[in-house]
Amino acid sequence: MAAPAVKAVRRWSGLTLGLRSVVLRLPGVTQVRWSRYGPEYRDPQVDKEYYRKPLAELTEEEKYDRELRKTQHIKAAPAMKTSSVFEDPLISKFTNMMMKGGNKVLARSLMTQEVWGSLFHCIPLQTLEALKRKQFEKYHAAPAEEQATIERNPYTIFHQALKNCEPVIGLVPILKGGHFYQVPVPLADRRRRFLAMKWMITECREKKHRRVLMPEKLSHELLQAFQNQGPVIKRKHDMHKMAEANRALAHYRWW
Amino acid sequence: MLETSIPATRPRKKRCTQTSCQAFRRPRAEPRGARKGQAGSRTAPQSLPGVRCLMATPSLRGRLARLGNPRKPILKPNKPLILANRVGERRREKGEATCITEMSVMMACWKQNEFRDEACKKEIQDFFDCASKAEAARKMRSIQGESGNLPPKKLNILLQRFPNKPHVS
């Protein structure tokens, strides 16, 4: 399907089949955020359950997929992706969004448990640990009937809080007649998840006292969002209210 | 070769004033703004909506200023009349907003329940379903491409490889 000229370039450059050669070369323009993998490369399958399935249970498609994987090129798995049971894609995404200047170590330590052991005498409170501690305190303080309703797993609290923060409808500026109008528009799933995480991180970074640490503030906001209260939920409601006010402009959309 | 849409200069026919003449009392059928051959006029090509109408190329015979041509030039092109090695892009289809009804139902529910999401779960789910269906339909349409003709981008690639030959070799 590719033009013969492009294929010839690939052979001449001596690179292995599938790696892209530099195509665009303009002065003063550097291509960033590009992949050295060609389109035929597949993503690696890190999920152990995929391989544990017995052969008898596989459908035709899955059998075909397995056979195909044996012959196709597969990309290298990124460093942060593991087959561990403790890995959570949402937590990884959130940690990456919290990261500043490539300091993954700091972001990860703020988020999850990282014991720095002998170097420090006091282990700083991390977000998930702080969540768990707060919920356990509540649990032990509460009478027996209420104990069943208190959620103590920090992962479920995290997931539910972010799900509660996701906006249902978004606003998009559309140019019409020389003016920009905020038009209500349905959002894709990934955009909604991104907005929820972005709002949470922005809220925790900006609206706090300077002596309050990030894990403390984050755990507080996550707990509030879990109960459908707090500033992030308020921001989501503000977005919904604006969309409701502008519902007449919905016809400005063309998709 | 027959003269087609571009008329040569001809003496104007005087309007017939006889009462027996059909043109005397015939009212103007066309709206004032429509030009000949354009949309809305009597001479516009009548076809089904969506079907590309194919018009014959207007003739160039005797239109340009050349040595053998005795009359005044009709056309004075500022570029040479040679086919370029690219075609124009397809005009974007005028789309319309999808899922308006689901959105208004959801917003009515919100107004009643003070924007709480737990009270409007069903409406929100309907809205999401509609949005995903619209997205899938749009993707199918873009993958399917054009029925019949090649898309303009592929045509341009083809024309680049096999360009027009303005000379005779």
Contacts of B100 in chain A (CB under 8 A): 250-251
Contact B103 A184 (CB under 8 A): yes
Q: Whole-angstrom Cα distance, residue B161 to residue B154?
A: 11
For residue B18, give how far its alpha carbon lies from the nearest alpha carbon of chain A (Å).
Answer: 52
Which residue, A139, A141, A135, is CA-closest to A156?
Answer: A135
Q: Whole-angstrom Cα distance, residue B81 to residue B60?
A: 10
Contact B96 A241 (CB under 8 A): no
Q: What confidence score (pLDDT) does residue A114 get?
A: 52
Query: How is residue B9 written in tokens?
Result: 């200069």
Cβ contacts of residue A156 below 8 Å, gap of 6+? none
Contact A186 B94 (CB under 8 A): no
Q: Whole-angstrom Cα distance, residue A154 to residue A218?
A: 12
Q: Whole-angstrom Cα distance, residue A226 to residue A152?
A: 12
Cβ contacts of residue A152 below 8 Å, gap of 6+? A132, A135, A136, A139
A234 touches chain B (CB under 8 A): no
For chain B, give percent helix, strand, coil, nearest 5: 30, 0, 70
Contact B97 A240 (CB under 8 A): no
Residue of B101, B111, B112, B117 to mutate for A, most A C-beta atoms under 10 A? B117
The per-residue pLDDT for range A164-218, each reduced to its tens digit, is 999 999 999 999 999 999 999 999 999 999 999 999 999 999 998 888 888 889 9
The per-residue pLDDT for range B123-146, each reduced to its tens digit, is 999 999 999 999 999 999 888 877
Dihedrals φ, ψ of A181, to 5°? -115, 140
Helices and strands in chain B, H and E counts:
4, 0
Contacts of B110 in chain A (CB under 8 A): 240, 244
A12 touches chain B (CB under 8 A): no
Q: Whole-angstrom Cα distance, residue A196 to residue A94?
A: 10
- The residue behind tokens 């969004």 is A97
Nearest CA in chain B to A168: B124
User: Mean pLDDT over residues B90-112, rounded?
Assistant: 89
Contact B100 A169 (CB under 8 A): no
Contact B115 A237 (CB under 8 A): yes
Q: What confidence score (pLDDT) does residue A2 get?
A: 45
For B127, which of A186, A241, A247 is closest by C-beta distance? Answer: A186
For B115, which of A240, A247, A255 is closest by C-beta distance? Answer: A240
A184 touches chain B (CB under 8 A): yes
Contacts of B142 in chain A (CB under 8 A): none
Which range, A40-54, A224-238, B87-101, has the best average confidence (pLDDT)? Answer: A224-238
Q: Whole-angstrom Cα distance, residue A168 to residue A184?
A: 10
The per-residue pLDDT for range A28-75, each reduced to its tens digit, is 778 788 888 989 999 999 988 888 888 777 788 888 888 888 999 999
Element (H, E) at A183: strand A179-186
Q: How confident is residue A121, by pLDDT bands cut at 50, 70 and 90?
A: very low
User: Do A180 and A174 touch, CB atoms closer than 8 A?
Assistant: yes
- The ipTM is 0.77
Contact B98 A164 (CB under 8 A): no
Q: Whole-angstrom Cα distance, residue B132 to residue A187?
A: 10
Which residue, B41, B19, B21, is CA-closest to B31?
Answer: B41
Within a 10 A sphere around the Cβ of A84, how many other Cβ atoms?
9
In this structure, chain B runs to a length of 169
Nearest CA in chain B to A239: B115
A–B: how many Cβ contacts below 8 A?
53
Contact A254 B131 (CB under 8 A): no
Residue of A244, A251, A252 to mutate for B, most B C-beta atoms under 10 A? A244
DSSP state of A139: H
Contacts of A237 in chain B (CB under 8 A): 115
In DSSP notation, B109-135 reads HHHHTTT-TTTTHHHHHHHHHHHHHHH
User: What is the pTM for the complete model shown?
Assistant: 0.71
Dihedrals φ, ψ of A185, to 5°? -145, 140
Question: A122-148: b or e for each residue (b if 16 or more CB lie within 10 Å)?
Answer: eeeebbbbbbbebbeeeeeeeeeeeee
**Which chain B residues touch A if contact means CB-CB below 8 Å?**
94-100, 103-104, 106-107, 110-111, 115-118, 124, 127-128, 130-131, 134-135, 138, 157, 161
The per-residue pLDDT for range B20-66, each reduced to its tens digit, is 555 455 555 555 544 555 555 565 556 555 555 678 888 999 999 99
Cβ contacts of residue A122 below 8 Å, gap of 6+? none
Contact B96 A254 (CB under 8 A): yes
